[in-house]
Amino acid sequence: MTQVRTGITPPFAVVAADSDEAIAAQALIEGMYETVEPDKAAVVVALGGDGLMLETLHRFIDRGIPIYGMNCGTVGFLMNEFRVEELDVRLTEAVPAVIYPLLMRAYTMDGTRHEALAINEVSLLRETRQAAKLRISVDGIERQSMLICDGALVSTPAGSTAYNLSAHGPILPLGAGVLALTPISAFRPRRWRGALLADTATISFDVLEAVKRPVSAVADYTEVRDVRRVDVARDPTRQLTLLFDRGHSLEERILREQFEP
């Protein structure tokens, strides 16, 4: 018979991805430890991959509750190693990493304004076979009069090793105080590789020839199609906390990513 541990500090809830592995892991943890419902938890343990971590951060974004992830997925860059033993000790000794989401304001062709938060990045992507044409301004000053491309993105440090890195953008240290502005398959100017911007900046994209060359805007997994303008800035009203095992902090993972092949 499985022994149930009690008196865990902090009280935690468990959420899981819909994979068989994650669901089985949740049942195992809830059989070994005394857990609580998410609305009573001081910490949420998320079981899955990086996608589940992003979903969990968005789900609890207005509560500011720390999230401790354990990898039951594929990459698991934002997750800790899955291990049920001494989970209570790991939660107590975990190192916090504070991250700040981006707020996307997207204006569509019909004049509607849409808002969404992004923990990793805000991306603009062409919708058809024709390249997008974007005008880019920073804090109201035009910096790129016309970028012909498949798209462009603004990445947080936490998201800089995700889509941003695949688009050949820079890896950003967590406390650097900067955002990465990265083109996606730039055609003109062909050699422009993007820019590093202060995380206090507002980046604005105007879609040129929006009817002929439609563009969508994506904040993590929220997509708005047929946009004519998108403003991106850090949301100063929210901060998120991820928890990591000692010696395996998010800062260390981002640093290691710059040296490993």
Active site residues: 50
Residue burial 164-194, b: 16+ Cβ < 10 Å; e: rest: bbebebbbbebebebbbbbbbebeeeeeeeb
Asked if 195 contacts 117 with a C-beta cutoff of 8 angstroms, the reply is no
Q: Which residues are CB-neighbours of 33 under 8 A, at least 6 positions away?
A: 4, 5, 8, 12, 87, 88
Rounded Cα distance, 53 and 30, in Å: 19
Q: Which residues are CB-neighbours of 104 under 8 A, at least 6 positions away?
A: 114, 115, 116, 117, 118, 122, 217, 219, 222, 230, 231, 232
Q: What is the DSSP letter of 185?
A: S
Q: Is the dihedral of CA 32, 34, 38, 41 positive or negative?
A: negative
Residue ranges for the known binding site for NAD(+) are 50-51, 120-121, 150, 158, 161-166
Q: How far, in Å, are 178, 189, 210 from residue 157 at the CA level?
A: 7, 25, 30
**Of the candidates 188, 46, 189, which has an alpha carbon nearest to the alpha carbon of residue 119?**
46
Rounded Cα distance, 16 and 21, in Å: 9
